[in-house]
A = this chain, B = another copy of it.
Amino acid sequence: MHDDTETSTSWLSPDDLETARSLVPMVYVEAIPIRVDGSGQLTHLGLLLRVRPDGSISRATVAGRVLHHERVREALVRNLEKDLGPVALPRLPASPAPFMVAEYFPDPIISGYHDPRHHAVSLVFVVPVDGDCQPTQEALDLSWLTPDEIMAPGFREEMAGGQERLVVAALAHCGALP
């Protein structure tokens, strides 16, 4: 689930953002923070806890819009800092290619990724994080889960918009499926 506060930082008025959304797909970046051991092996995967517009609570990735004239890397840095705080020390990927692309649509049937607000094409990256994470803004918390916890029955239901599949794909990409 993408956050709903983008309008405050996007240098677009709510009206302009609505206009853009009605015309073209939005470009998003999405980061899945991980903890790794000394050999680079994933040990934990981090997920935000958010209150959704309907008042329910769900786990979520770090996500946000790529602004007009902003580099993808800058958008990743900005959104990681927004959601994890200023001392998370994310290690941004050396390659600009995402490990996955998620296509969010208002109609949940089209791709299985669902965002009621708009059509968004999201570039998804796995980002090792070394420092202290202090969830900020609208995130209630950040929790670190083991691969076993993520693959346990019931985990799927804790996420929304199809993002649970991005989390499993991140585990698979890191060779960390239990």
Q: Contact partner of A19 among B19, B34, B121, CB < 8 A?
A: B19
Q: How large is the interface on A (under 10, 10 to 19, 20 to 34, 35 or more residues)?
A: 35 or more
* B94 with A101: CB separation less than 8 A: no
For A173, the closest partner residue in chain B by CB is B95
Given A23-B16, A23-B19, A168-B168, does the pair A97, B100 have CB atoms closer than 8 Å? yes
Which of the segments A53-61, A66-74, A132-140 contacts the partner chain? A66-74
A-B contact pairs, 20 of them (CB 8 A): A12-B24, A16-B23, A17-B23, A19-B19, A20-B23, A25-B27, A25-B70, A40-B76, A71-B110, A72-B101, A91-B128, A94-B126, A94-B128, A95-B174, A97-B98, A97-B99, A97-B100, A168-B168, A169-B172, A169-B177
> Is A62 part of the binding interface, using a Cβ–Cβ cutoff of 8 Å?
no
> Is A175 part of the binding interface, using a Cβ–Cβ cutoff of 8 Å?
yes
A93 partner residues in chain B, CB cutoff 8 A: 40
* B175 with A96: CB separation less than 8 A: yes
> Is A141 part of the binding interface, using a Cβ–Cβ cutoff of 8 Å?
no
* A92 with B40: CB separation less than 8 A: yes
Q: Contact partner of A121 among B41, B66, B165, CB < 8 A?
A: B66
Query: Among A27, A36, A119, A123, which residue has the most Cβ atoms of chain B within 10 A?
Result: A27
Q: Mark A12-33, 1 if CB is under 8 A from B, else 0.
A: 1000110110111111000000
A2 to B76, CA, bound (A): 26
For A25, the closest partner residue in chain B by CB is B27
Q: Contact partner of A94 among B36, B68, B178, CB < 8 A?
A: B36
Query: Among A34, A74, A119, which residue has the most Cβ atoms of chain B within 10 A?
Result: A119
